[in-house]
Structure 1
Amino acid sequence: MRTEVVSEPGHRDRPNEDFASVGLPAFGQGGCLVVLDGVTPPRTGTGCSHSVSWFTTRLGGALTELTVSCPDLTLPEILSRAILRTAEPHAATCDLSHPRTPQSTVVLARWSAETVDYLVLSDSVLLLESADGSVIPVLDDRLARLPRASLATDALIDAVVRNKEGGFFTAAADPSVAERAVTGSVPRHEVRALAALTDGAARWVEKFREGDWVRCVGLVRKEGARALVERVRALEAADKEERTYLRRSKTHDDATVVFVEP
């Protein structure tokens, strides 16, 4: 088995709000990967005394432990339980109903000798590479499909589309959001490798258009996960002034890549 985990903050003087892990159960069969991209909080506050990195660390830890130790649970059930477990320690001290309570995207995959199960919530990406080199991207593209007018301001996003029907969903404090995730299962023999990327790493494809998902997985396979992040950083630096591709996006974002050949 080959595994690689690379996670780099967008800025060295700010905490990395991403989370990444690979879990391998002691009985030696199968495993899991978890990738979270914490939603950067607004300056106006979140109703919570805890940071986004505090949240992603605890949610990611709960997801890893539950996915490895509870093979009888579905991935939506695991996400639901992990959200509840993460909410409990600060439910009495923080306003978890606040639209910007700490939250994150989720990529969760679990493989056994028979199947590969997956769950994706919001705009991180899971890539399933087949033996013939083709790649199936698992995407939750609800945010990308929203009209730009609904994303004009943070206040409008929170009021109209964030964790709202007809909008997009993230993992925050409501366990029912697990049922909104994109899920599926494929036979294990059809998957040669898995790659999970937060949107900071997926920029290589989605924002800078340097290649498609097949080329992206090929790059990671040949040169390693860090090579993809380094290429994204070089592209960001080159576009810092003109902003032809970055436009209004932050120049550097937290970037995480997990690559597994199970």
Structure 2
Amino acid sequence: MRTELVSEPGDQARPNEDFASVTLPASGQGGALVVLDGVTPPKDGTGCLHSVPWFTARLGGALTELTVSRPDVPLTEALSRAITRTAAAHADTCDLSHPRTPQATVVVARWSAESVEYLVLSDSALLVESPTGSVTPLLDDRIARLPRSALATDALVDSAVRNKEGGFFTAATDPSVAERAVTGVLPRAEVRTLCALTDGATRWVEKFHEGDWEDCFRFVRKEGSAALVARVRELEVADTERVFLRRSKPHDDATVVFAEL
């Protein structure tokens, strides 16, 4: 097995809000990866005393531990338990009902000798390469399917589509959101490589249109995860007229985890 993990903040003056882990159980059988993209808070606060990195570290740490220590527990239940555990850590000090309480997108994959389980919640991505070299993107595309008018302002997003039926869902404080994730199980023999990316890295495909998902995977395999992030940074700097980024932040935290099983 070979793994590569790169995570770079969008702004060197701010902490990275992404979380990433790759774990190999002591038994030597199988493994797991967890990637979270913390949602950057608005300037007027979140109702929480804690930072987004605090939240993603807590949630990511709990989810990593559960995926490894409880291989019998489905990934949806593992995420539900991790959300519950994280919420309990600050329920007494923070307003967890605030629409911008710290939250994150989630990608989890866990593999054994027999199968590969996956879970994707919100707009991070998981790419799966088969032994024949074909690449399948596993995506939760609910944000992409929303009309642009529904995403016009933060206030509109928070009131109408964030963690709302007909909108999109992130991991925040409600454990039932785990049931909203895109999930599945693949035969282990049909999976050669996994590549998980936060949306700061998927800009290569989704914002700058450098290629499709298969092209993105091939770029990472050939050039490396760090090269993908570096190319995204070049494209961000070059987009001085905001032709591609539009209302998006100039730079975003970017994480890539590449795992050859």
TM-score range for the pair, normalised by the shorter chain length: over 0.9
1:200 match: secondary structure:
coil
* 8 A contact 1:3–1:261 mirrored in 2: yes
* 8 A contact 1:22–1:33 mirrored in 2: yes
- The residue type equivalent to 1:230 in the other structure is A
2:185 match: secondary structure:
strand
Cα distance per residue 1:201-228 (max 9 Å; x no partner): 0011111111111111111111211010
Q: Distance in 1 between matches of 2:238 and 2:133?
A: 31
* 8 A contact 1:195–1:260 mirrored in 2: yes
The residue aligned with 1:46 is 46
The residue aligned with 1:247 is 246
Identity %: 77
Report matched runs for 1:206-217 at 5 Å: 206-217=206-217
Runs of 5+ unmatched residues, structure 2: none
Cα distance per residue 1:133-158 (max 9 Å; x no partner): 11110010101111111111111111
The residue aligned with 1:79 is 79
What TM-score do you get using the length of structure 1 for normalisation?
Answer: 0.98
The residue aligned with 1:61 is 61
Runs of 5+ unmatched residues, structure 1: none
Deviation at 1:128, TM superposition (A): 0.4
What TM-score do you get using the length of structure 2 for normalisation?
Answer: 0.99
Deviation at 1:82, TM superposition (A): 0.3
- Residue 118 of structure 2 corresponds to residue 118 of structure 1: yes
Q: Distance in 2 between matches of 1:120 and 1:26?
A: 26
Deviation at 1:15, TM superposition (A): 0.5
Deviation at 1:183, TM superposition (A): 0.2
Q: Distance in 1 between matches of 2:214 and 2:188?
A: 19
Q: Distance in 2 between matches of 1:82 and 1:248?
A: 32
RMSD: 0.7
The residue aligned with 1:140 is 140
Cα distance per residue 1:17-47 (max 9 Å; x no partner): 0000001100010000000000000111111
The residue aligned with 1:182 is 182
Aligned length: 261
Q: Distance in 1 between matches of 2:223 and 2:56?
A: 28
